[in-house]
Amino acid sequence: MTPEVHAENDTKTDGRIAAIRGGVVDVMFDGAVPHIHDLLYAGEVALEVSGLIGAGMVRAMALAPVRGLGLGMTVTATGGPIRVPVGEGVLGRMLDVFGAPIDGRPAVTAVEHRSIHRPPPKLSERVLHSEILETGIKAIDLLSPIERGGKTGLFGGAGVGKTVLITELINNTVQNHKGVSLFCGIGERSREAEELYREMGEAGVREKTVMLFGQMNEAPGVRFRVGNTALTMAEYFRDDKGQDVLLLIDNIFRFVQAGSEVSGLMGRMPSRVGYQPTLATELAGLEERITSTKRGAITSIQAVYVPADDFTDPAAAHIFSHLSASVVLSRKRASEGLYPALDPLASASVMLTPSVVGQRHYDIARAVRRTLAEYEELRDIIAMLGLEELSSNDRATVARARRLERFLTQPFFTTGSFSGVEGKRVPIAQTLEGCETILEQTQFDLPESAYYMIGGLGDLEAAS
């Protein structure tokens, strides 16, 4: 079924298909030429104008498979860009890039429709909150606290736990979040979408959440634009309703990848490492809309796939520049079973300053990082000569570091069904108290394994 589209003006002209190259269609118009970003229809296939290539000729990217299209076929211009429903009616729904339902329920009705192409807020409207969004995940709250109204990236290669961590963040923050939540799946698998929909229903948070998907099997144009759809809906709740919005994106790298595919189809010369020459501006156009204003805040948590674990990759480097906190997931820690596999030395946050988190939190985080860094330096000596050759001070450092590593692991609610261990949500105060206690000790009564996969230090006796 063709998604509902509302034209911005009455200027509608018909054109005809002049060329088809994969997912790119050239259309010739004899009359008025559509603007860039305008929506066209060739039968049931939606097209979005991406460029003007000559007198009366436009180049459009297909937002659906182009099967059934042929040269000379009539193309109708709608007179405006893609417009999606916004408002209370989208809550609890699973939608696609057009705002059409993919959850088997009726279309969203009695709501306003808005263009997905909107400018970011003016600088005069932006505000800085300098507040922490508590997640209940020890390693994140201690070492890389999330900013309310900021952007946090979960960086990692394949199989280090990005999706599991973002699902746990949904579970922990949505249940304690008083605003609205949006989940935007860009280029993810349909299995993950189905699991998320079911889990959010079981947790009782689905009715305050909107889920949008541009899946892996869909056209690159869909994956490239679904982020804009999510932000248009988020901006309604922030600007019109004055609510705080939690926006979760899995995976922002797929947005860059879709842009690269579209750019290649458009015939643009690739830039460094094969990425599109417009990478920086496309990413900034999306990321700069995620911000706090005088009316409300959009807090974003984004999973970022890092190709071949190379953090110098242009996509990862450009995404880094937009973030207020970065949570780096380490394959080495994942291989040791230390989940979440957060790398304590590579993860960082602009919130981790005494003026924001307080002097005590700052000092404990610094001491934890220093202890773990000293342990990293001693690893080679331990491997070659053994632990017994270290001085008593170094042995105490190793004992503290190994217990801190295990204390910063945590059982997740979202993995409880197959791990058999009930999830734990740990307040920041308990995390700080536990780390402070470990840092102050030189002798330990319990083995390091007792610190593995517990909540606060109060769980130690049960674990031992």
| Amino acid letter, residue 366 | R
Which residues in 163-259 belong to E strands, given as ranges?
180-186, 209-214, 245-250
Based on DSSP, count helices (H) and strands (E) in the chain, helices before strands: 14, 18
Q: State CA 106 to chain mean position distance.
A: 28
Given the residues 21, 105, 189, 379, the one annotated as active site: 189
Under 8 Å between Cβ of 220 and 262: yes
Look up residue 190 and give its two tokens: 């349909």
The answer to whether 406 is a known catalytic residue is no
Given the residues 83, 93, 138, 162, the one annotated as active site: 162
- Let me know how long the chain is: 464
d(CA 274, CA 28): 30
Residue environment code for 127-160, b if the CB has 16+ CB neighbours within 10 A, otherwise e: eeeebbbbbbbbbbbbbbbbbbbbbbbbbbbeeb
Under 8 Å between Cβ of 130 and 356: yes
Neighbouring-strand partners of residue 303: 154, 250
Under 8 Å between Cβ of 341 and 334: yes
Cβ neighbourhood burial of 35 (10 Å; 0-12, 13-18, 19+): middle
CB contact set of 29 (below 8 Å; sequence gap of 6+): 13, 14, 15, 56, 57, 58, 77
CB contact set of 227 (below 8 Å; sequence gap of 6+): 184, 186, 249, 252, 255, 286
d(CA 61, CA 40): 10
d(CA 244, CA 295): 9
Residue environment code for 418-446, b if the CB has 16+ CB neighbours within 10 A, otherwise e: eeeeebbbbebebbbebbbebbeeeeeee
The answer to whether 188 is a known catalytic residue is yes
Neighbouring-strand partners of residue 83: 115
Given the residues 48, 134, 188, 405, the one annotated as active site: 188
The answer to whether 377 is a known catalytic residue is no
Strands 14-21 and 298-305: unpaired
d(CA 58, CA 296): 39
d(CA 180, CA 86): 13
* Catalytic positions: 162, 188-189
